[in-house]
């Protein structure tokens, strides 16, 4: 089966990132490896990944190798300064599930938006009574270099399509 809308896709890959500074691209460095022990499974067309990522996989088949690069614009774009905000530190208290260690600079806070969707923010600076948080995607501003292999392509079940995610061994368990 070829990768197409509503197919379940399983991949192994290495993701490297690079940045363009003064018109010179940095040497790509590895930030994530998904191997046979921990493959990445998603519902094609509903992955939440950059559109270009799925575009470059469409039509490929099981056991096929792939290698491509997404530019900053095709991936997560440039940093949006409006997504860097200052919030009162008391919103991140122990009774809300936050420990002092979680609020250290450089850490990512697991948060939820008003609709109950998971999101994260990086602690940029702890100002004592306030925190500066960055809600940009962690890979914003980077070119993404993917190299990997398609390990499975199958039709999604009606239940997976209804729920919008993969079920079973490599997906949600519900």
Under a CB-based contact definition with an 8 Å cutoff, are residues 109 and 123 in contact? yes
- pLDDT tens digits, residue range 1-49? 999 999 999 999 999 999 988 788 889 999 999 999 999 999 999 888 8
Dmax (CA) for the chain in angstroms is 56
Sequence ranges of the domains in the chain: 7-77+139-163, 81-134
Structure tokens at 88: 């009162």
Task: Please name the residue that has the structure tokens 């890979």.
Answer: 139
Q: Examine the pLDDT at 77 and tell me if it is beyond 70.
A: yes
Instruction: Tell me the fold of 7-77+139-163.
Output: Chitinase A; domain 3 (3.10.50)
Q: Examine the pLDDT at 69 and tell me if it is beyond 50.
A: yes
- pLDDT tens digits, residue range 85-113? 999 999 999 998 999 999 999 999 999 88
Do 7-77+139-163 and 81-134 agree at the fold level?
Answer: no
Structure tokens at 130: 């306030």
Instruction: Tell me the fold of 81-134.
Output: Thrombin, subunit H (2.40.10)
Other beta carbons within 10 Å of 78 = 10
**HSE on the CB side for 147, CA within 13 Å?**
8
| Partner residues linked to 108 by β-bridges | 122
pTM recorded for the entire structure? 0.84
Query: Cα(21)–Cα(159) distance, rounded to whole angstroms?
Result: 46
Closest CA to 149 of 35, 37, 26, 24: 35
């Amino acid at each position: 089966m070829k990768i197409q809308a509503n197919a379940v896709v399983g991949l192994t890959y290495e993701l490297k990132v690079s940045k363009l500074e003064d018109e010179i691209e940095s040497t790509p460095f590895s930030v994530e490896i998904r191997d046979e022990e921990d493959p990445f499974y998603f519902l094609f067309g509903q992955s939440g990944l950059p559109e270009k990522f799925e575009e470059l996989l469409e039509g490929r088949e099981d056991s096929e190798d792939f290698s491509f690069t997404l530019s900053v614009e095709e991936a997560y774009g440039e940093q949006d300064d409006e997504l860097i905000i200052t919030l009162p530190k008391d919103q991140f208290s122990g009774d809300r599930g936050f420990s002092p260690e979680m609020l250290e600079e450089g850490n990512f806070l697991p948060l939820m938006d008003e609709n109950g969707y998971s999101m994260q923010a990086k602690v940029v600076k702890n100002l004592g009574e306030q925190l500066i948080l960055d809600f940009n995607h962690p890979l914003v501003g980077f070119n993404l270099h993917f190299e990997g292999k398609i390990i499975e392509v199958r039709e999604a079940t009606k239940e997976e399509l209804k729920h919008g995610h993969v079920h079973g061994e490599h997906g949600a368990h519900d």
